[in-house]
Amino acid sequence: MASKDPSLISNPQEQKWVVEITKILDHQLEIDNENPLVSLFQVPEIITTKQPEAYEPQQVGLGPIHHFQPRAYKKMEQKKLAVMRKVLQDNEIEDYKLNVLHNVKKLVPIVRSCYDMFLEHDDELLTWVFVIDGLFLLNLFHNYNQPELPEVGPKKRLVAQDVLMVENQIPFMVLKEINDALHVTTGSRSNIANDFSPSIFQIFCKIHSPLKLCSESQAPSSVDHILHYMYYSIVNNFRVRPNEDAIVATEFFNFVKKIPKDEIVQAYEQTISILETFTQTKLIIPSASNLHAAGFKFHSLKEDEGIKDALVWGKDVYLPIVTLYKESDVILKNLVAYEALTSNSNSFPLAEFMVLMCALVVNVDDVKRLENVIKGDLRADEVVKLFTGISGSIPAMKTSKESNLQGTIDEINMAYNNRLSMKPYLLLKKLAQWLLVALKAIGGFVGSTWKIVAYVVGIVTVFMLTLQAYCDVYGCDKTVTLLPFQLLLS
């Protein structure tokens, strides 16, 4: 089928679209090598909705998604151009259009294929965006890679959190192409071009990563971008909710006494719902202060051990050091989002570790108990706020097999639940399962045997009062014992 001549299209916008699409497709058809894997993403709204500013750059927009974001553009565009001029002059580049822009433009059709979205900009504009932002990043990393580590103040930390956002990534292949163009001459400069590798990210990531990175010998030799480098270096560093009393059970008791006969069926269904919720709820790891009260102690792992090395030895819990600064909240959220977008659905090590930390840290006392693990310059209340915020941004995870970290969480729960005070709770849970079986067994006769159902509902009331008494003595986690009384009272 012959393509439609753009000149025959009356709508100017449609005509422009056809022309641009034709150009893009023609350029991509000229590529000999296979399209690369998708490695540049837009973060879905289900993740960004609670705190969109954690995924949208506030200081510096990089790449086609955020380069022209008004706020960041006004702040940084002139600074980017100043950096570009400096780098070109330092490298004695006289014709940057020939030496730099021309080379990068040849990459643009390939780079388009790296995005999980269609880039509407034409190749010329994308070339300029990648060159301006690429030179800005090369200069930034060069300033970090000095013999003496740079001082990192608040402004640098704000820039760093933007550089490490999922939607703000510049492909490594673009950075390498620009670097090669800057050192295209012969002699010693050619060696600089040949030596260009992902190790350029190492110092920057080491300074800003909340978790220890793997050793240089284990560092990745091939990456898509700097966020990929940091994520890989974190997960491959390994050796070769708040406590509240349960809702008062007497509300449920009073409700049952007031149920008219003609509403017993509704009460039956709601009672089933309550028991199902209670019996199916899994125990979540207690907070650090609760574990400490039960005799647990927290220790930090060695520097060459990371999130996959977390372990429990008796009542000693060993965790990797987490170093938190102002930018750490945004960096951790983007690392978790990146993992969710790139995972093969069999492994979510970082998200699992963050689930563990979010469960451990629910108040300032928890931070105190984890003083060997949590470092940095954040106050205790700021640490609590950080983990509370992260807990709401972790996507649901489904894995085909249990990971080492999941095993560690199970070990902590097992040791915690084997305490004498937990045995009555587990017995109550078993009783609830039997009550659920009994109620379901007479489910077909609810209408005609409402007195029997009312009797069983009364037993459930006694059960709830017993549970309340247990919670009054030993305390219960809201996440464990929260039952849907709201349904009954509605």
Write the pLDDT tens digit of every residue in 238-254: 876 333 334 434 444 45
Unique residue bearing structure tokens 């433009």: 105
Look up residue 218 and give its two tokens: 């284990």
Q: What is the pLDDT of residue 352?
A: 92
Q: What is the pLDDT of residue 24?
A: 67
Residue 381 CB coordination number (10 Å): 11
Question: Which DSSP symbol is given to 214?
Answer: P
Q: What is the pLDDT of residue 73?
A: 94
The stretches in the chain having pLDDT less than 70 are 1-12, 23-24, 26-35, 185-194, 240-284, 345, 400-402, 417-490
The tens digit of pLDDT for each residue in 358-415 reads 999 999 999 999 999 999 999 999 999 999 999 989 987 777 666 777 778 777 877 7
Look up residue 309 and give its two tokens: 């090395």
**CB under 8 A, 24+ apart: contacts of 71-79:** 72/162
8 Å CB contact between 179 and 104: no
For the chain, the domains span: 31-196, 250-283+420-489, 295-417
Q: What is the pLDDT of residue 78?
A: 96
Q: What is the pLDDT of residue 414?
A: 72
8 Å CB contact between 309 and 318: yes
Q: What is the pLDDT of residue 345?
A: 62
Which residues, at least 6 apart from 252, have a Cβ–Cβ distance to it below 8 Å?
274, 460, 461, 464, 483, 485, 488
pTM (2 d.p.): 0.74
Q: What is the pLDDT of residue 180?
A: 95
Q: What is the pLDDT of residue 178?
A: 97
Unique residue bearing structure tokens 């504009």: 125
Q: What is the pLDDT of residue 27?
A: 63
